[in-house]
Structure 1
Amino acid sequence: MTEATTHPQPLPPVRQWLIFTDLDGTLLDHHTYSHAAAQPVLAQLRALQVPVILNSSKTLAELASIAAELALDSPLVAENGSVIHYPVRQHTLTLGSNYAEICAQLDELRTREHYRFAGFHDWPAEQIAALTGLPLAAAALAAQRCASEPLLWQDAENRLEPFHQQLISAGLSLKRGGRFWHVMGQTDKVQAMHHLAAEYQQRWGAKPFVIALGDGPNDADMLAAADVAVIVYNPDGTPPTLAESLTQQRTHTSLPGPAGWAEAMSMLLANSAA
């Protein structure tokens, strides 16, 4: 069962819903990457024509493969809001910095300041597979980056903040994910979410009712910007922290991963207007 919601309120009709979801640990199992437990609810949302938008640190190549498995044709938000892809019209919009420029800046900082870290551009697909638990073919998709670089911080913790400040000075940002730190341009999941919500509002002629689902600190801003925040139980890591002053409706699931995703969405559907 889901825990009691914070600031409960009547939900609008599902035709106004716009769902943004994280993947690892949320719609996908953190260990097996399975989405089987969420499939019945996803099928229900497809039948209701509710857009389910994947909003993840994963690459566009990874998201396109997962979206195909899930039979989703909604826009995809890749690399923590750096890239938006529209599958129906095969159009890609880059909001963040160029990948080659990010890697060059990281290499320059590592050489000049002697920081100890390693990122995807340092590793072959075999090592990415070993570090992520992904199959080799999926790891190769994870290496096809457009606008962000995941890295493992191997230096002292007290050197992380100076590194962060130097990235900011270079026009970049640093986000904490479930397994890696992510270096990217000055954009995020929320900017991409607002961009797409504005597009749907123009298309529908009404403001979308935004539901966001996530399980980690990297999802906190996206959750805070939604009308309903679903915090999926995270037994393996740090959950997102949201300010108590927020007046949104908030739901905590008791189950992790896709089972928790389905648990929360089933409850919301049951409480929605026709």
Structure 2
Amino acid sequence: MPPRLLFSDVDGTLLGADGRYAMSAAELAPAVRELDLVLASSRTVLELARNQRDLGIDGPVVAENGAVMGWPSTDSLSSVGLREDLDGRAWRVVLIGMPASELRAEVREAAKRLGTTYVDQEDVDPALGRRCSVLLRPIPGRDFDALDALAAVLRLRGLSVASGGSWLAVTGGADKGDGVRAVRDWWRRAGREHALVAAAGDGDNDIPLLLACDRRFVIARDDGTWHPALQALPGVECIETPGIAGWCDVIRRLTRPQEM
């Protein structure tokens, strides 16, 4: 039988705020013999390559909320995107969304008009190599609602503003759903079919991710509640076990449904 395919968010879904994964590489190994696991996150290709190494997995990644795609470099992909060496491996990186420089100009202009101050991840950790997204958070001592007006203006300009772990991620022209479709199309052309395509996520940036898949899992927040926008999507399965432990339930549902 063809393998199953799982697209998974990272922060708050399979990776906790304390840096602990839901499963170790050894614990995950039996599951990835039965399913292909693709990380889909606001993180960069470099960050996701490191997450793959930690988890003992390989394959494509959906980075920067779908604005950037990454594939391990092979001869068949030699003409695709840009070749980059990331985390000790060769990758083909495809830029889909609006360039970060253009997004940053939009953010700065809107913030100046509103008198809003913020922290840009690029100023904190430029080595992450963010290409088609800008990540923001409030200045120290302020709550995230301090960025509400800025987010509203950016959305009116046609940009996407969604959660990105402990940041707000600003993108344009792409979302995680686009990443799902790109990966599925690539695997289809490579002759690899999947019996089922599923997704797991916990935040508002996962709405297009879940909608692009056949089976939709919503991970509960640490307080046991689910993001209301995800909970309202059609056909979702809300996992009752809160936090990253709930991701283990998703893996069991996909690989050992008879135990659930």
Using structure 2 for the length normalisation, give the TM-score. Answer: 0.78
Tell me if the contact between 2:220 and 2:239 (Cα under 8 Å) persists in the aligned partners.
Answer: yes
1:181-228 CA-to-partner distances (Å, cap 9, x unmatched) read 111112111111112122223333646521111122322331233222
Q: Map 1:34-53; keep pairs closer than 5 Å.
A: 34-35=20-21, 37-48=23-34, 50-53=35-38
Look up the match of 1:4: none
Pick closer, same or farther for the CA change 1:61–1:183 going to 2, 3 Å.
Answer: same
Look up the match of 1:124: 124
Q: Map 1:217-256; keep pairs closer than 5 Å.
A: 217-235=204-222, 239-241=226-228, 242=230, 246=234, 248=235, 250-256=237-243
1:37 is paired with a residue whose SS is: coil
1:30-71 CA-to-partner distances (Å, cap 9, x unmatched) read 22x1226353452013333x2210100111111111112222
Look up the match of 1:160: 148
Task: Tell me how far apart the structure 2 counterparts of residues 254 and 209 of structure 1 sit (CA, whole Å).
Answer: 23
Task: Tell me how far apart the structure 2 counterparts of residues 155 and 265 of structure 1 sit (CA, whole Å).
Answer: 34
Q: Which has the higher contact order (CA 8 A, sep 6+)?
A: 1
The one-letter amino acid of 1:160's match is D
1:172 to 159, 180, 199: 159
Q: Map 1:46-65; keep pairs closer than 5 Å.
A: 46-48=32-34, 50-65=35-50
For this pair of structures, how many residues does the alignment match? 238
The one-letter amino acid of 1:27's match is L
Measure how far apart 1:255 and its partner are: 4.1
Pick closer, same or farther for the CA change 1:38–1:249 going to 2, 3 Å.
Answer: farther
Task: Tell me how far apart the structure 2 counterparts of residues 157 and 36 of structure 1 sit (CA, whole Å).
Answer: 29
The one-letter amino acid of 1:124's match is V
Segments of 5+ residues of structure 2 without an aligned counterpart are 75-90
Bigger shift: residues 220-229 or 37-46: 37-46
Task: Tell me how far apart the structure 1 counterparts of residues 135 and 231 of structure 2 sit (CA, whole Å).
Answer: 27
Measure how far apart 1:251 and its partner are: 4.4
The one-letter amino acid of 1:100's match is S
Tell me if the contact between 1:115 and 1:155 (Cα under 8 Å) persists in the aligned partners.
Answer: no
1:199 is paired with a residue whose SS is: helix
1:64-101 CA-to-partner distances (Å, cap 9, x unmatched) read 11112222221011111111000143211111111122
Measure how far apart 1:165 and its partner are: 5.2
1:148-186 CA-to-partner distances (Å, cap 9, x unmatched) read 11112459959735x345434655321133422111112
Look up the match of 1:109: 110
Question: Is 2:31 the counterpart of 1:30?
Answer: no
The one-letter amino acid of 1:55's match is A
Look up the match of 2:52: 67
Look up the match of 2:61: 76
Tell me if the contact between 2:132 and 2:171 (Cα under 8 Å) persists in the aligned partners.
Answer: yes
Look up the match of 2:87: none
Pick closer, same or farther for the CA change 1:227–1:36 going to 2, 3 Å.
Answer: closer
Tell me if the contact between 1:82 and 1:94 (Cα under 8 Å) persists in the aligned partners.
Answer: yes
Question: Is 2:174 the counterpart of 1:187?
Answer: yes
Segments of 5+ residues of structure 1 without an aligned counterpart are 1-12, 126-139
The one-letter amino acid of 2:255's match is L
Look up the match of 2:84: none
